[in-house]
Amino acid sequence: MILLSIVLIGSGAFFLLMGAIGMLRFPDFYTRMHAAGKCDTLGSLLVLTGLACYGGLSLASVKILLIALFIFLTSPTATNAIARAAFKNKMPLWTSEED
């Protein structure tokens, strides 16, 4: 169980780091939202699942898994709502410098 927890938490930390790098490297709002939405959701789910595995079968682990379920349901919805609001308010899209 401990090895599985280490793998899950390490994988989650990797995805969270990739999401942070994507936020810094991507050129416009929409691609940054994509990095934040996908990587942060998956990274937090993996970290929380690893913590629940590390804790064993207990009330704390059940609460952690409920938090992970809440993040799984709300994070993509919130990301989509923010991106739609930006699009409706005519947030400019990135255009290549080569054009």
pLDDT digits (tens, 9 = 90+) for 55-98: 999 999 999 999 999 999 999 999 999 999 999 998 888 877 76
- Which token pair is 38? 């996908």
On whether residue 96 sits in a domain, the answer given is no
- Tokens 């780091």 belong to residue: 17
Whether residue 47 contacts residue 10, with contact meaning beta carbons closer than 8 Å, is answered with: no
Number of domains in the chain: 1
Quick one: pLDDT at residue 91? 87
- Domain interval for residue 20: 2-88
Asked, for residue 95, whether it belongs to a domain, the answer is no
Question: CA 38 to CA 16: how far, in whole Å?
Answer: 10
For residue 17, give the nearest of 35, 30, 2, 4 by alpha carbon. Answer: 35
Q: Is the pLDDT of residue 99 over 60?
A: no
42, two tokens: 């998956």
Residue 79 lies in a domain: yes
Q: Is 67 among the domain residues?
A: yes
Does this model's pTM top 0.85? Answer: yes
* C-alpha–C-alpha distance, residues 87 and 80, integer Å: 10
